[in-house]
Structure 1
Amino acid sequence: MKATLVMKFKLENGKSSTISITSPKEDLTGAEVTAAANEMVTKQAFMVGGSPLAALEQAFIRTVEETELP
């Protein structure tokens, strides 16, 4: 199964943006994700269309199972 950490942020301009990270560590906790997201917001690490991240709205792990066809 392939895993992706998905973090949805509200931007300062009122819009939303998603940051996805492939292959997150298996024992990742919500507290670790929240701490990292808060640091990204505080340091204005990402700008989307000229607007910085304002707050984390949602974070989750998406898992996808791939089955090769014979």
Structure 2
Amino acid sequence: MKQLKKKDFKLEKELQSLVEENLQKLFGITFLATEHSTGQRYGGRMDTIGIDENNYPVILEYKRKKSEYN
């Protein structure tokens, strides 16, 4: 792993790809899926799904800026 220079991501997907490619190194999480649909009932998707070292599911949601929380 190497330290990266500070960088603003133009798209949320850029940050998501970087994290997904390094999930194991950064957080000890095994990658399972990206952009997994929550189905018609909930009408959304989970950005990244993984399994941690204790075999618990981990869901990551990315936001490029604070205003995206709403």
Q: Which structure carries more strand by proportion?
A: 1
Q: Computing the radius of gyration over CA atoms, which structure comes out larger, 1 or 2?
A: 1
Q: Which structure carries more helix by proportion?
A: 2
- TM-score normalised per structure 1: 0.27
- Taking CA–CA contacts closer than 8 Å with sequence separation of 6 or more, which of the two structures ends up with the larger relative contact order? 1
